[in-house]
Chain A
Amino acid sequence: MSFRSVSVALLAAAVTVTAGCAVTAGVISSDISAAEARVAVLETRLHAAEATAAGATSALDDAEAKAASMRLVLDERPAFVDAVAKAEKALKVAGKLDVKADRAKVLAAQEKVRAETLDPEVVKTATRDVLAVAKSVNARVAEEKKRAAARTPAGVLAEFRATLDAIGGEWVNVTFFDGWCGGKKVNGCNFSATDIRITKALGNERPSVRRWVAYHELAHSYQRLVWSDIYTSPVFKSLFRSNIELLANCMAYSQGSPREGHHCSDRQIRWAANIYDGRVPKKG
């Protein structure tokens, strides 16, 4: 083999090896470029998916938090419905009582509760409001029942008797009469120290008036125990202008009666109080 042949062969080998490597490197580089392009696409998609997942997770968290709040509101509903049932029962037995405002309060509370979806405190407050309505109506119904009972003849008599017993009039009888007293129509009259009479219509008066009548008529009973001393008393003449009704009122006020009759000065009340002890002071 000649040098020339060897040289040519080696040259060809060098060219072949170089070309082969270059081609292989080119193919691999091309593959790398293609793979990198795919990686870039994948990275973009992954970022987009992660961003979407984050948004969806946030929305899910919001939805779950909202659902939790709504459940808390719903948990308060049975107590509210129970309060409404109590209020409804109270309103039903209210009879002639005016409960329009109470009903309106319950309806307003109901609307607040229906509209509220997230804050359980709103329902708790509404429950308290409705229970307060029920309590108020029940109290008024009870008061009205008491008043109605007092308006029956037996009730009127029993209440008057109880009042007399409580204010020192246990020794005085009380009965009904037709209302005629000394030529005038009245609800109470003192016929003697131990004989007070009242009308059935006294039950229609306010409680304070009924109590004042008891004090006033009992004062006449005490007056009768010192009747002549009173009528001959100069103080009675000057301080009370001989008005036995005024004196009875001033006596009543000295014992704590509601002030439903004449006005009395402190001086008159102080003097009048002595009559209960059987004394008619010479000085006023």
Chain B
Amino acid sequence: MEQQQQQHWPSRLAHLTLITALAGATATAAVVGGIVVAELRTGLDETLTAEQQLTAELAEAERGQVLVKVSTVDAEKVIADLREQLASYEGFLE
């Protein structure tokens, strides 16, 4: 019986080692995985922030573009009006 118990010790030690290793691996996986996931989330947040900024800038640029186009159309109308006035014979000798 005692001999039988003495034969079980190495097996228990191996099991404990295995359990410890598994526990360590689990903890390591959890920590490393958590860090990787956290970094990825940060990266994702930054990308999303950049996307928002770009969306806002694009909207601003497009608004500016529209305003410039409207102003250009107005200026062209003014030019057409001035051209008409310049082409006038009013007050000229016949």
Which chain A residues have a beta carbon within 8 Å of chain B's beta carbons? 3-4, 6-7, 10-11, 13-14, 17-18, 20-22, 24-25, 28-29, 31-32, 35-36, 38-39, 42-43, 45-46, 49-50, 52-53, 56-57, 59-60, 63-64, 66-67, 70-71, 73-74, 77, 81, 84-85, 87-88, 91, 103, 106-107, 110, 114, 116-117
Which 7 A-B residue pairings sit nearest by Cβ, starting from the closest? Answer: A21-B33, A81-B91, A10-B22, A3-B15, A63-B75, A14-B26, A42-B54
B1 at the binding interface (Cβ < 8 Å)? no
Shortest C-beta distance, B23 to chain A (Å), equals 5
In the bound assembly, the distance between CA atoms of A103 and B94 in angstroms comes to 10
Assess A11 versus B22: contact at CB under 8 Å? Given A35-B44, A39-B54, A49-B61.
yes
Report the bound CA distance from A44 to B69 in whole Å: 21
A49 to B26, CA, bound (A): 52
| Cβ A35 vs Cβ B51 within 8 A | yes
Query: Which bucket holds chain B's interface residue count?
Result: 35 or more
Interchain CB contact (< 8 A) of B54 among A25, A43, A67: A43
Task: Please tell me which one of the listed residues B19, B57, B62 contacts residue A6 in the complex, with CB atoms under 8 A apart.
Answer: B19
Bound Cα distance A243, B33 (Å): 143
- Would you call B75 and A107 a contact (CB within 8 A)? no
> How long is the Cα–Cα vector from A19 to B26 in the complex, in angstroms?
11
Interface of B is mostly: helix
- Bound together, the chains give a CA A63 to CA B73 distance in angstroms of 9
Minimum CB–CB distance for B49 against chain A, Å: 10
A-B contact pairs, 29 of them (CB 8 A): A3-B16, A6-B19, A10-B25, A13-B26, A14-B22, A17-B29, A17-B33, A18-B33, A20-B33, A21-B33, A21-B36, A25-B36, A28-B43, A29-B40, A32-B44, A39-B50, A45-B58, A46-B54, A49-B62, A52-B65, A53-B61, A53-B64, A56-B69, A57-B68, A60-B68, A70-B83, A81-B91, A81-B92, A84-B92
Separation of A45 and B50 alpha carbons in the complex (Å): 14
